[in-house]
Amino acid sequence: MAEQERSLRLRVGGVRLDADLSVPPAATAVVAFAHGTGSSRFSPRNRQVAAGLRAAGYATLLMDLLTPDEEAQDARSHELRFDIPRLATRLADTVDWLADEPATTALPVALFGASTGAAAALVAATHRPDRVRTVVSRGGRPDLAGDALRLVRAPTLLVVGGDDGLVLELNEEAASRMVAAPVELAVVEGATHLFEEPGTLDEVLVHAVRWLGRWVGGTGGPG
């Protein structure tokens, strides 16, 4: 059976958001991406990682977290990208949508957040603790999840660039506050915040596939 790829308009959080769902044959889980600051479902880094995850047997959902009008507003104010409660509510509703969607209803759900999207993913995991099996963060700002960090039960992988000094410190501090979940911090040496250096996104993918294999099954193997 060929991979199913569809462009969708999801109704979540009272708005309609554009998304792209890809389901490879015999997928073992679905990974929903939460993009970072000022980005969209077309983030080239998230799309590169998503392609690698599909090759490893995982379905992927890349979505916009803001409507076109909100994106225009955010381009001026830079405020909505930091509205973690709004973004987290939309992600939580997306998890519900995946449970109802025939192509993904039987698949465990993982959330993959970048930058501010990582905070939204962690907060969403507290809203849907029985459905979100694990969270992966790439260059994320988990600190922006605030007091929700102590409530996260989903096993969480924090991948940070070794040359992303401030964000590395923020991830270390956030990990220390996540007392209810297994947490691992993976440092990609030589990588800066956007993982633009050659080979660094490949390392992110290696860490993500290993982690997903541990917590939702698949080619990463048991942990």
- 223 within some domain: no
String of DSSP letters for 50-93: HHHHHHTT-EEEEE-SS-HHHHHHHHHH--GGG-HHHHHHHHHH
How many domains does one find in the chain?
Answer: 1
- 204 within some domain: yes
- For residue 155, the domain's CATH number is 3.40.50.1820
- 205 within some domain: yes
**What is the full per-residue pLDDT of the chain (223 aa) written as tens digits?**
556 679 999 998 789 999 999 999 999 999 999 987 666 788 888 899 999 999 999 999 999 988 888 888 877 877 777 889 999 999 999 999 999 999 999 999 999 999 999 999 999 999 999 999 999 999 999 999 999 999 999 999 999 999 999 999 999 999 999 999 999 999 999 999 999 999 999 999 999 999 999 999 876 543 3
- 88 within some domain: yes
- 53 within some domain: yes
- 184 within some domain: yes
Q: Which residues constitute the domain of residue 203?
A: 4-215
Q: Would you call 7 exposed, middle or buried from its count of C-beta atoms within 10 A (0-12, 13-18, 19+)?
A: exposed
- 9 within some domain: yes
What is the end-to-end Cα distance of the chain in Å, rounded?
Answer: 29
- 69 within some domain: yes
The SS3 call for residue 144 is helix
